Chains A and B, each alone.
Chain A
Amino acid sequence: MIVSVDNLTRQYGARTALAGVSFQVREGEIFGVLGPNGGGKSTLFRILATMLAPSNGSASVAGYDVERQPAEVRRRIGVVFQSQSLDKKLTVFENLRAQGQLFAMHGRALAERIEEVASRLGLADRRNDLVDTLSGGLRRRVEIAKGLLHRPTVLLMDEPSTGLDPGARRELWQYVEELRDRQGITVLVTTHILDEADRADRLLLLHEGKVVAEGAPAELKARIGGDVVILDVDQPALLLPDLRARFGVEGVAQNGSVRVEIGNGHRFIAEAVEAFPGAIHSVALHKPTLEDVFLDETGANLS
């Protein structure tokens, strides 16, 4: 296992950010950590990036313990921060050169590697532009180029799509998938965005510092089975007993609507509208999303 996390716990004073988290990441996969803000993702990211010591438990990357062998770990990870780690007053090339020097790369080998990484990320014609003048999407690509420069085996990315428009987000993920497919790089990405989580090979759902589910996105969604139907009604709580009696389903009342997970949603809708005349204002049906999975496991919304 390329990343192995065992019973990881982190406390900030009285607050517990991570409470006994365990999971493993396989080599060459895109592993997503999905959860709401404050769920423990960033703490996990910082521990894996060797910026923060765990209070308890352990984590290893490429066989090296993050707490006891941070230098070995640092050589093998590429870190893409949520916040900008670029120097805006320097050009793309100068940023990448400084990064390479931190990893003892220099001279022609460094220059060639910069060209290689920059052209792979579509930055070749921007090499002499000041970072200040680049768009958010381009800056994020420079961040990734920085993370890849020293040929890491694991790329850690903290909320990489934050602040990117949908187009830039799609582009970014094309690059990430290419990295996995062509170079076998393992990618661990934290996110609270569903689109992004859907593109991971496997996912960890994190809530209040605990693992609530783990698996491939399709697998997690399949657990719900069937469809999700949302009935917009005046008094959701009153409808629940009737639903149980007539259809044998457990609905969940939530602000002004009832949420039902059921096979053959379209048939249920027709019958429900007929069964409760006038009570239902509007109806929505969708296939289960990761949001539904999260709601199911925690009773809380993702965002």
Chain B
Amino acid sequence: MSFWLPVWALWTRDLVRFWREKARVVGYVGSPLLFWLLIGSGFGDLAFFYPGALVLTVMFSAVFSTMSLIEDRREGFLLSMLVSPAPRSSMVLGKIAGSATLAWLQGLVFLCFVPATGHTPGAAALLEAAAVIGLIAFMFTVVGFVIAWQMESTQGFHAIMNLVLLPLWLVSGSLFPIAKAHGWVQWLMRANPVTYAVSALRAPLEGHAGVPGPALSVIVTASFAAVLFAVATASATRKTTRAFA
């Protein structure tokens, strides 16, 4: 059975839907943009808060678009997929590719605001930033997939978003650098994968390496995404013992 056709089917489906619901772009880019302008203006430092706000945009988009999985497999297109001979791994990849692409596009929209920070990255730095945003989009999409696959309801998903993902973002170096954090929070920040995602983005946008360093940041982000991708595939291919519909 073909592996790539189902991937293609799911990926293009997400893109077409996205194109038809352009209002979503405004929603996911809008609120991080507002956070950034308010917090950045309040502290008088738009530049420092910019990478974190961009990561927040990507996180919102990626995580919320994977939330559709919960409904989709109960009452939606994914139901047909579950009873088709298409391999489950191609379903996982197709769904993640779709959501990650959308999150990436929204990250790129946010990237257009970079001149407001006072930094003017060159073409190479912008390309690097775009690539890093793609990686971060992939990471958050996989995180969202793993959570959504375990969930029976969207309410539970919101709880995890508020209790786990947002706090992780708060201690990721988005709002204050590791060096300024007190005591145990510093350790928490070092252990937090989102810290590495934010830091990976600081290098190309600010023109100098942050803490942790850029190479380590990219490696940690990519490894974290790869491990979770394996988890996502494993949990989706596990034999079905409970009722989906």
Taking Cβ atoms with an 8 Å cutoff, the residues of A that contact B are 12, 43, 46, 49-53, 71, 74-75, 77, 79, 81, 83-87, 89-90, 94-95, 97-99, 101-104, 106, 146
Q: Are B5 and A77 in contact (CB under 8 A)?
A: no
Binary contact readout B68-104 vs A (1 if CB under 8 angstroms, 0 otherwise): 0000001111011111111000000000000000000
Collect the chain A residues with CB atoms within 8 Å of residue B83's CB: 49-51, 74, 77, 79
* Cβ-defined partner of A83 (8 Å) among B5, B10, B75: B75
Collect the chain B residues with CB atoms within 8 Å of residue A106's CB: 5
* Cβ-defined partner of B240 (8 Å) among A43, A52, A74, A87: A52
Residue on B with the closest CB to A74?
B85
**Assuming A71-B85, A146-B80, what are 4 further A-B pairs, CB within 8 angstroms?**
A49-B83, A51-B245, A81-B79, A101-B9
Minimum C-beta distance from A57 to chain B (A): 16
Q: Are B241 and A53 in contact (CB under 8 A)?
A: yes
Among B1-52, those with CB < 8 Å from A are 1-2, 5-6, 8-10, 12-13, 16-17, 20-21
Q: Does B187 contact A (CB under 8 A)?
A: no
Q: Does B116 contact A (CB under 8 A)?
A: no
Q: Are B84 and A74 in contact (CB under 8 A)?
A: yes
In the bound complex, how far is the Cα of B82 from the Cα of A83, in angstroms? Answer: 14
Q: Are A104 and B1 in contact (CB under 8 A)?
A: yes
Collect the chain B residues with CB atoms within 8 Å of residue A90's CB: 13, 16-17
* Cβ-defined partner of A87 (8 Å) among B74, B76, B243: B76
Q: Are B243 and A98 in contact (CB under 8 A)?
A: no
Q: Does B239 contact A (CB under 8 A)?
A: yes
Q: Are B77 and A86 in contact (CB under 8 A)?
A: yes
Minimum C-beta distance from B231 to chain A (A): 22
Query: What are 14 pairs between A and B in contact, CB < 8 Å?
Result: A46-B243, A50-B83, A51-B244, A53-B239, A74-B84, A79-B83, A83-B74, A85-B79, A86-B77, A87-B17, A101-B9, A102-B5, A102-B85, A104-B5
Collect the chain B residues with CB atoms within 8 Å of residue A43's CB: 243
Collect the chain B residues with CB atoms within 8 Å of residue A71's CB: 1, 85
Collect the chain B residues with CB atoms within 8 Å of residue A87's CB: 13, 17, 76-77
Collect the chain B residues with CB atoms within 8 Å of residue A49's CB: 83
Q: Are A89 and B20 in contact (CB under 8 A)?
A: yes
Minimum C-beta distance from A278 to chain B (A): 54
Taking Cβ atoms with an 8 Å cutoff, the residues of B that contact A are 1-2, 5-6, 8-10, 12-13, 16-17, 20-21, 74-77, 79-86, 239-245
Q: Are B84 and A102 in contact (CB under 8 A)?
A: yes
Collect the chain A residues with CB atoms within 8 Å of residue B75's CB: 83-85
In the bound complex, how far is the Cα of B9 from the Cα of A89, in angstroms? Answer: 14
In the bound complex, how far is the Cα of B245 from the Cα of A97, in angstroms? Answer: 23
Q: Are B80 and A102 in contact (CB under 8 A)?
A: yes
Decide yes or no: A46 and B245 within 8 Å by CB, A51-B83, A94-B16, A101-B5 being known contacts: yes
Minimum C-beta distance from B92 to chain A (A): 14
Minimum C-beta distance from B181 to chain A (A): 44
Most chain B CB neighbours (cut-off 10 Å) among A75, A84, A89, A102 = A102
Collect the chain B residues with CB atoms within 8 Å of residue A83's CB: 74-75, 79, 245
Q: Are B16 and A99 in contact (CB under 8 A)?
A: no
In the bound complex, how far is the Cα of B74 from the Cα of A21, in angstroms? Answer: 26
Decide yes or no: A98 and B77 within 8 Å by CB, A89-B20, A90-B17 being known contacts: yes
Q: Are B86 and A102 in contact (CB under 8 A)?
A: yes
Minimum C-beta distance from B136 to chain A (A): 26
Residue on A with the closest CB to B90?
A102
Q: Are B239 and A84 in contact (CB under 8 A)?
A: no
Q: Are A101 and B80 in contact (CB under 8 A)?
A: no
Collect the chain A residues with CB atoms within 8 Å of residue B77's CB: 85-87, 95, 98
* Cβ-defined partner of A84 (8 Å) among B6, B76, B242: B76
Minimum C-beta distance from B191 to chain A (A): 38
Residue on B with the closest CB to A88?
B76
Collect the chain A residues with CB atoms within 8 Å of residue B244's CB: 51
In the bound complex, how far is the Cα of B8 from the Cα of A101, in angstroms? Answer: 8
Most chain B CB neighbours (cut-off 10 Å) among A74, A75, A87, A97 = A87
Q: Are A98 and B13 in contact (CB under 8 A)?
A: yes
Collect the chain A residues with CB atoms within 8 Å of residue B74's CB: 83
Most chain A CB neighbours (cut-off 10 Å) among B83, B239, B243 = B83
